Structure 1
Amino acid sequence: MPGNTEIVMDAVRATDHDRYLTALYAPADKRDALFSLYAFNAEIAGIRDRIHEPLPGEVRLQWWRDVIAADIEGAGIGHPVADALKATISAHRLPKLAFDNMLEARIFDLYDDPMPSRTDLEGYCGETAAALIQLAAMVLDPVEAPRFAELAGRAGCAQAITGLLLLLPLHRRRGQCFVPADILAAAGSSPEEFVAGDGGPGAERAVAAMIALAREHLRAFEQGAAALPPSLRPAFLPLALSRAYLAKMEKGDPLRVTPRLSALRRHWLTLRRATKGWPAL
């Protein structure tokens, strides 16, 4: 019977393979901690897929809040991901507030309320993907990590917006709209129109604006990424795939078809950044 370490690692491999790949480039003594962070992220990001009603979803998020806040001694609570996460938080002195903010942000996932504005979207990205990058950086190198908090913010926005674009077909099918209302209005659309039918005439313009926003944050990240010390690279490696995914979207139909990268290309892009870092722009 597999132990907790194998269960947590397998959970990340099954639910978030891109981050699974990046963790393999971390030092061996840091990988279990990264896997616990990524497994937790996958758990809370996937709540809506498993629990289709908002209120039970909120109950599940509150369960995680209570687990993280509690001081549990001894054998833990018997949930492999929760026990691994608690050990990581304790061993690396990670701020519990960051996890609380992440859980609060994930309440948005459970409902069909439209994202109000670009500012709200960037705040959501900051509390989710950017926070995850910063927490991973703190595990990898707690001395250097604080210097790159702002870069983690840019990286998180680029990665999260790219991820939301990849999920457009799924979100539209279930009536969710992560494209901010102000971006939709500028494109001549609305949240209701965007998720209905073919999305209306403004849908493609709105998607193009979202791709441009992701590229804006990605370029800001890349401008500072050459300064990243090798010790922090694994935390930022998910960004190795963002430019390739965005290029696929620009050539495809992301409203209806989720772009894919081959396993070989994903491995190659990740390996290149893991070994060489990001060139100076």
Structure 2
Amino acid sequence: MSVAACAALVEKGDPDRFLSAMTGGPQARARLFPLYAFNLEVARAPWVASEPMIGQMRLQFWRDTLAEIGAGKPARAHEVAAPLAETVRAAGLPLDLLDEMVIARWADLERAPFADAGALRDYLAATAGNLMWASVLALGGDAALETPARAAGLAAGLASWLMAVPDLDSRGWRPLPADVPGLIEETHAALREARRARVGAALPALRAAWRAESVLMRAMRDPTAIGAGRLGGSEFGRRGGLLWKSLTGRW
């Protein structure tokens, strides 16, 4: 039960966030990897279970774990629980942010289409948006960064969602409401505005959105690329983009 174990989970299951976290120093990585590992465990809980009831039990496990962290109880015997508890307590993170992430994942169990783009936006705000804001807080960000952090988190979440559309379709989930083009444009504009903020030590957290702009731009230019799975770009461009941002101090 260590940060290294969390990092290994993230490297395998969420390589984009792993790479962005690695642009930060040891202290930043020690705060980010437990949060990213928690997010990974919660995100995959509805998908790895053979029955919805098992998925519900997995999600409830994490709600109970968060409640116990808040009550100061010893961490559960799970490789992510103890590092997560340490990060939450050291950074003074509000547990409701993380609890809302778990609650939102019940939608993944139901596989029901989102009624409209607003419903998809709410889902992404509660998952990727809350994760980004919690990550920024963990690195010392203050209230002035909440709006740009949430905009960046929403953009990262939407970009990932759009790239996952072919897989979600294959699993029987119709993931895109008809009015999603407007959400893509709105989210892209908010991300560009968010990048004007002075982010200081929170920079490694915000770099988790490093692919969002290029993915959203591809989706706007060619909506057919979403269903065809052509939003990700080349591997060279993917890694080169992060390297450029790291060298120039941007996100």
TM-score after normalising by structure 1: 0.80
Residue 52 of structure 1 is matched in structure 2 by: 50
The answer to which of 170-179 and 248-257 deviates more is 248-257
Residue 84 of structure 1 is matched in structure 2 by: 83
Identity within the alignment, %: 27
- Separation in structure 2 between the aligned mates of residue 115 and residue 264 of structure 1, nearest angstrom: 34
- Cα shift at 1:33: 1.6
Residue 238 of structure 2 is matched in structure 1 by: 266
Matches within 5 A, 1:213-228: 213-228=183-198
Task: Confirm whether residue 161 of structure 1 aligns to residue 158 of structure 2.
Answer: yes
- Separation in structure 2 between the aligned mates of residue 87 and residue 104 of structure 1, nearest angstrom: 22
- Cα shift at 1:215: 3.6
Contact 2:46 2:105 in 1 (8 A): no
Paired residue type of 2:135:
A
Partner of 2:47, secondary structure, is helix
Gaps of 5+ in 1: 185-208
Task: Confirm whether residue 210 of structure 1 aligns to residue 180 of structure 2.
Answer: yes
**TM superposition outliers: structure 1 runs of 4+ over 6 Å:** none
- Cα shift at 1:248: 4.5
- Among residues 143, 148, 159, which one is paired with 2:145 in the alignment? 148
Paired residue type of 1:243:
E
Contact 1:211 1:246 in 2 (8 A): no
Partner of 1:254, secondary structure, is helix
- Cα shift at 1:154: 1.6
Residue 187 of structure 1 is matched in structure 2 by: none
Residue 201 of structure 2 is matched in structure 1 by: 231
- Separation in structure 1 between the aligned mates of residue 62 and residue 15 of structure 2, nearest angstrom: 23
Paired residue type of 2:156:
Q
- Separation in structure 1 between the aligned mates of residue 167 and residue 205 of structure 2, nearest angstrom: 27
The answer to which of 10-19 and 47-56 deviates more is 47-56
- Cα shift at 1:212: 5.0
Contact 2:145 2:197 in 1 (8 A): no
Task: Confirm whether residue 31 of structure 1 aligns to residue 3 of structure 2.
Answer: no
Contact 1:169 1:258 in 2 (8 A): no
